[in-house]
């Protein structure tokens, strides 16, 4: 079966390829696009027209799901700017992976007294990852940015696991 790539979320929304998108403006754009292609406002004459309206609606919803999440937006931006960059940069530094394993164990064994401090630590790590990612993108260093996306996945997973314990 032939793989058809998803449309560029930034192009679907008509916004620039940037990590710095205003959340309220993005939501207003989503609501307008959704309203404009809503089937109730586009009474199709033929089944082809109806299918096109439904396809456009699906593209808008998919793009919204990508753009509203900063990490998914980063992944989309990186792939749009340098196709295959995420796949090429999956291999992470062994020292980082050892630290990530230790962090996962710390999360697994954290008692209720330790959870608050560990949550703060993980949230700070995720924010630091994102800030560094933004700087990498701004400098055009997409390979390093892709590695940061992969590294942050470990921090996000640890935070998710910790929150699930609560």
Q: Helix, strand, or coil here: 141?
A: coil
The Cα–Cα gap between 26 and 68 comes to 7
Q: Which residues contact 94 (CB under 8 A, 6 or more apart)?
A: none
Sheet strands (E) in 25-165: none
Q: Where in the chain is the domain with CATH 1.20.1280?
A: 85-165
Higher per-residue confidence, 35 vs 152: 152
CB 44 within 8 A of CB 50: yes
Superfamily grouping for domain 9-68: DnaJ domain (1.10.287.110)
Full-model pTM: 0.85
Choice between 28 and 35, residue whose per-residue pLDDT is larger: 28
Rg for the chain, CA atoms, rounded: 20
| The pLDDT value given to residue 44 | 52
CATH architecture for residues 85-165 = Up-down Bundle (1.20)
Three-state DSSP class for residue 139: coil
pLDDT tens for each residue of 75-127:
999 999 999 999 999 999 999 999 999 999 999 999 988 999 999 999 999 99
Residues of the chain with CATH 1.10.287.110: 9-68
Instruction: Please provide the average confidence, as pLDDT, over all residues in the chain.
Output: 90
Q: What is the DSSP letter of 89?
A: T
Q: How distant is the alpha carbon of residue 143 from its chain centre?
A: 17
What is the helix (H) or strand (E) element at residue 163, kind and residue range?
helix 142-165
């Amino acid at each position: 079966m032939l793989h058809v790539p998803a449309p560029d979320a930034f192009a679907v929304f008509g916004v620039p390829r940037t990590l710095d998108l205003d959340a309220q403006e993005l939501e207003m754009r989503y609501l307008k696009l959704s309203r404009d292609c809503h089937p109730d406002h586009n009474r199709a004459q033929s089944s082809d027209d109806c299918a096109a309206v439904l396809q456009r609606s699906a593209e808008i919803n998919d793009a919204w799901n990508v753009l509203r999440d900063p990490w998914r937006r980063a992944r989309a931006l990186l792939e749009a700017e340098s196709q295959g960059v995420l796949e090429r940069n999956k291999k992470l530094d062994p020292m980082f992976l050892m630290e990530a394993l230790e962090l996962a164990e710390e999360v697994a064994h954290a008692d209720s007294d330790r959870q608050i401090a560990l949550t703060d630590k993980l949230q700070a790590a995720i924010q630091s990852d994102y800030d560094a990612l933004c700087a990498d993108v701004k400098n055009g260093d997409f390979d390093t940015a892709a590695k940061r996306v992969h590294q942050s996945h470990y921090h996000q997973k640890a935070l998710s696991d910790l929150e699930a314990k609560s």
